[in-house]
A and B are shown apart, each in its own frame.
Chain A
Amino acid sequence: MKRELPLLTTALIGLFMILSFFVPHEWVSVPADFLQATAIILVAFGYVLGGANVLRVNLDAVSKRAPGWPYKVLLVVALLVTVIIGVLDGIPREGGFLNAGTRSKWIYDQVYSPMAATLFALLAFFIASAAFRAFRIRTAEAAFLAIAALIVMLGRVPIGDRMTAWLPHAFQLGTMQQWIMDFPQNAAKRAILIGAALGVMATGLRVILGVERSYLSGEE
């Protein structure tokens, strides 16, 4: 019963949600809306679980003096400070912690936002370094990939058109990159999308029919 009940619940709700896609009648749509709203509430609780998990994992590492434990102390302190300030800012008025001028907004604007942007900006440097050291052309396929990459990379920016402005229009980098994106790339991406969609449908059916059970306890 411990396994059968969740399996039955999954199957019934799964089939019902599929039915709601095709049947707009209120007998189906109203309970389906309720289930959708329930899902949103469950997802929101996921953040609480996620936060608790971050605390558990990092406090455990700090107590064991695992490598890099001072950084974990910083992470835990930052997490707690942000949450506590958010809660305090939110007490006086509804939505207060989000408003301009609050301490939470200051943390978001002055700490989180620049750090996130900086981290992403570093990619430019690592991509250049990786391009020099790791992009090895050893086979004909790799050569095709490299040529396509170079055309798209240069054709996507104004300097590409400038470099090949003297060539006929069809051979200019901008035109060639658009052709690569519209045809070979598009065909491959479409095949991947169709394959992924079939995979998602198959997995969904396996879950509904109770064949796929790993979500219950991590076992097949």
Chain B
Amino acid sequence: MQWLERLDRRWIFVVMGLLVLGPLIKPLYLPLSVTEHVRAFAAAIDRVPNGSTVLMSCDYDPSAIPEMVPMTRTAMRQLLSKDCKIVITVLWNAGPGLVDSVTHETAREFPGKRYGVDWINLGYKSGNEAVMVLMGQGIANAFPRDYSGGDTRSYPIMHRVRDYSSFPLLVNISAGYPGTKEWVQQVQARFHLPMVAGVTAVSAPEFYPYLQSGQLQGLLGGMAGAAEYEKARGEKGTATRGMDAQSLGHVFVALCIILGNVVRRTRPAGGTA
């Protein structure tokens, strides 16, 4: 065990790298089960009447791509396949470019859907919670111009949108602050807008109280949540492909915790850390 104690940490990096890279090159196809909160997320979107307009806030930046982008894609596909209209906003200053690319790519899968008619990206607005509250007084007031600089009110999709009462559901995909917690506190609680959320794995535990209280109707937690959502929708996207790598990564971290402690316990008396 002495050699393990003196192990160069670069070996740990190499093993972790191989464990993540291997399944991405050659997938293991580990079976995935869909949990209750993910089923609830998909069911909440299913309950939205076909053709209605849904608000989708994508509050993340490129650092959260592996977790957030698959959720955004699958949620957008589910909504567009129900002929729902989607109004997209971003409250993270580094997010709009990414969100715009992802939403355009996803919308292209639906040849009949047109920008400004079936979906619109209102882009970024600074102000965090203040923007959420301002949107309650009027979406176009808070976002007078869309992401590409066009007059928001001139788009057909916005003719049927006034404020939060125009939406049957808010889909929030969030990687931190401002995000799901703020949407629940400022919008769900105040304007009683039904809401589902997709969040990063590290922040997911924070939202269980909102889930239990019914303020969130469904929750996707991290890449696992995104992969389960893909499975629930019959898709095989990037989250599903990433789950094998994440599985092995988690096993390796668990082994590191166990091994690290075993090494310390077996250290001869008087040894140093």
Contacts and interface: CB of A to CB of B under 8 A. Distances in A.
Interface string B229-262: 0000000000000011011111111101111110
A131 B256 contact: yes
A105 B148 CA distance: 12
A40 B247 contact: no
B150 A117 contact: no
Contact of A185 (B205, B224, B252): B205
B247 A186 contact: no
Nearest to B138: A33
A57 interface: no
A108 B61 CA distance: 11
A193 B189 CA distance: 15
B9 A137 contact: no
Given A117-B63, A137-B261, A128 B12 contact: yes
A96 B149 contact: yes
B224 A156 contact: yes
Interface stretch (B29-37, B51-59, B81-89, B153-161): B29-37
A47 interface: yes
A46 B137 CA distance: 24
B40 interface: no
How many of chain B's residues touch chain A, expressed as a range?
35 or more
A132 B12 contact: yes
B126 interface: yes
Interface string B1-25: 0000001010011011100100000
Contacts of B257: 131-132, 135, 146, 149-150
Contacts of B12: 125, 128-129, 132
Query: Interface SS of chain A: helix, strand, loop or mixed?
Result: helix
A113 interface: yes
How many of chain A's residues touch chain B, expressed as a range?
35 or more
B62 A117 contact: yes
A95 B250 contact: no
Interface in A126-165: 127-129, 131-137, 146, 149-150, 153-154, 156-162
Contact of B261 (A40, A128, A135, A158): A135
Nearest to B147: A98
A181 B148 contact: no
Contacts of B33: 158, 161, 174
Contacts of B9: 129, 132-133
Given A98-B96, A125-B12, A156 B201 contact: yes
Interface string B140-169: 010001111110000000000000000000
B27 to A, nearest CB: 11
B126 A44 contact: yes
Nearest to B137: A33
10 contacts: A29-B137, A37-B141, A40-B125, A124-B249, A128-B249, A131-B256, A156-B201, A156-B250, A159-B247, A186-B212
Interface of A: 21, 29, 33, 36-37, 39-40, 43-44, 46-47, 93-96, 98-99, 105, 108-109, 112-114, 116-117, 119-120, 124-125, 127-129, 131-137, 146, 149-150, 153-154, 156-162, 174, 178, 181-182, 185-186, 189-190, 193
Interface of B: 7, 9, 12-13, 15-17, 20, 30-33, 35-36, 61-66, 93-94, 96-98, 100-101, 123, 125-128, 130-131, 133-134, 137, 141, 145-150, 190, 201, 205-206, 208-209, 212, 221-222, 224, 243-244, 246-254, 256-261, 264
